[in-house]
Amino acid sequence: MRNYLLALSFLTIIPLPFVRFGPEGRELSGSAAWFPLAGATIGGLLALFAWLMLFFLPPAPVAAAALILSFLLTRGLHFDGLADTADGLIGTTDREKAFQAMDDSAVGVMGAAALLLVCLLKYALLAELGLLMPLVLIFMPLAGRWAVVYAGTWFPPARNRGLGDMFLRGLRWPILLRATLLTAGLIYIFAWWHSMLVIPIIIGCMLALAAAHLLAFYAARRLGGITGDILGAASELGEVFFLFGLYLAL
């Protein structure tokens, strides 16, 4: 339970003043096994909000409002990583220049374009799902956080600095295994409630992991490893490709 609360405290703005991280960030790596459940918690809040809003508004504005709420709940944690990754990997061709672009607090053209395109894709896909949107919103953040643990376990850190690199060094295969089993358990429980969506959800999750893997593989080839920014981008791309996979399966 403590690791779940640690994950929830790190990934959201939910006030948990009794949860404290140690100075070296080891607890954060240990809590990564609970990232999918923390993601499902975020998704549950988004689903409840969307379900209530659909009584009064059509799907399109509800989709936009749900994405705004998602941004506020997570304080845009992974948006920064997506923008920095786009600036570093698309906006440059040199390894050191890529690191400089990713460390720069200003958002470049590539980063702004990546944020805009990802948000547009999420919005369009959620709006097309109509009344199924609340159910899908439960698993969209879960898929993104599972993708973080997956990519971070497969690939080494590119540098030895910052919280993101300490988090990466603490990730091990048993952590990914626990995160995977937890995700499977949540999907199994959901199957008792709404079995029609189970196969599309699984396909969406697999596509989210594949997207995160390809991104991390490319980053590792370019940079010699991955960074915390790459993990943030993996989460955002994981959510988009989850929606793609689920929509295509439906």
* Predicted pLDDT at 20: 66
95: containing domain: 2-249
Place of tokens 């969307």: 50
| pLDDT tens by residue, 228-241 | 899 999 999 999 99
Q: Which residues contact 117 (CB under 8 A, 6 or more apart)?
A: none
Element (H, E) at 232: helix 228-249
- The answer for residues whose C-beta is within 8 angstroms of residue 129's C-beta and 6 or more apart is 59, 136, 247, 250
Per residue in 4-31, pLDDT (tens digit) is 888 888 888 887 766 666 655 567 778 8
Single-letter amino acid, residue 112:
A
What tokens does 219 get? 């980053």
Residue 42 has pLDDT above 90, yes or no: yes
Alpha carbon distances (Å) from 128 to 58, 101, 121, 133, 214 = 11, 35, 11, 8, 27
Check whether 161 has a pLDDT greater than 90. no
Alpha helices by DSSP H, 35-108? 35-53, 59-73, 77-89, 95-103
| pTM tops 0.85, yes or no | yes
- How many domains are there within the chain? 1
Higher model confidence: residue 40 or residue 14?
A: 40
